[in-house]
Copies of this chain bind each other. A is one copy, B any other.
């Protein structure tokens, strides 16, 4: 019997998913959570074998009253911070962004699935993960590979990452000890390579592809 916990802020999806999982004779849902802080609590309380974790979730407030992690991937990171192997983690997401996949796998999570995958595939993933295997949604894995390595140079990446944190040109220049002109130039180059218009789109495209 595989003991499961489900964390997702969309109540309808969560309830539906739980109903579906109950239909499987070897699965047992032992906990549910609607935000990131609650997800941590549920794991602490019920010690499930496998945790299904949505990426987009409100932080919520933990038992100590402080705000919880900002998203599901951050929850995974915290659960793995102490090196524990339990619970196995499968991250679910609506948007099949390669960046999510990369971030997720870096945390040490075992699985990554998009929500428009059929349920059988998810159930299958749960069983495989329980056996210690790693599972990645095939469609997304293919897309992730097709995205390929970053076309950005080192400095371009550095500058773009700073821009992603909301810093303006002058701030970036000060932080990286560059002229403002140089900063704009790296951004311009990145814009060209990414085939977008404007630094905002460049930042988005780069993060979407996990190139940050």
A residues with CB within 8 A of B? 9-13, 15-20, 23, 34, 92, 94, 115-119, 122, 200
- Cα separation A173 to B15 with both chains bound (whole Å): 51
A15 touches B94 (CB 8 A): no
CB closest residue in chain B, given A10: B115
So how many copies of this chain end up in the complex? 2
A169: min CB distance to chain B, Å:
15
CB closest residue in chain B, given A198: B200
Most chain B Cβ neighbours within 10 Å, of A12, A19, A118 = A12
Which 3 residue pairs are nearest across A and B when measured between Cβ atoms? A16-B16, A10-B115, A13-B13
Which residues of chain B are within 8 angstroms of A94 by Cβ–Cβ distance?
Answer: 10, 94
CB contact between A116 and one of B11, B20, B118, B122 (< 8 Å): that residue: B11
| Given A10-B13, A12-B92, A15-B20: 11 more A-B contacts, CB < 8 Å | A11-B118, A12-B13, A12-B16, A12-B17, A13-B17, A16-B17, A16-B119, A19-B20, A19-B23, A34-B116, A94-B94
- Cα separation A117 to B11 with both chains bound (whole Å): 6
Which residues of chain B are within 8 angstroms of A118 by Cβ–Cβ distance?
Answer: 11-12, 15
CB contact between A122 and one of B12, B23, B34, B92 (< 8 Å): that residue: B12
- Cα separation A12 to B118 with both chains bound (whole Å): 6
- Cα separation A81 to B37 with both chains bound (whole Å): 45
- Cα separation A85 to B11 with both chains bound (whole Å): 30
Which residues of chain B are within 8 angstroms of A20 by Cβ–Cβ distance?
Answer: 12, 15-16, 19
A8: min CB distance to chain B, Å:
9
Which residues of chain B are within 8 angstroms of A17 by Cβ–Cβ distance?
Answer: 12-13, 16
Which residues of chain B are within 8 angstroms of A11 by Cβ–Cβ distance?
Answer: 115-119
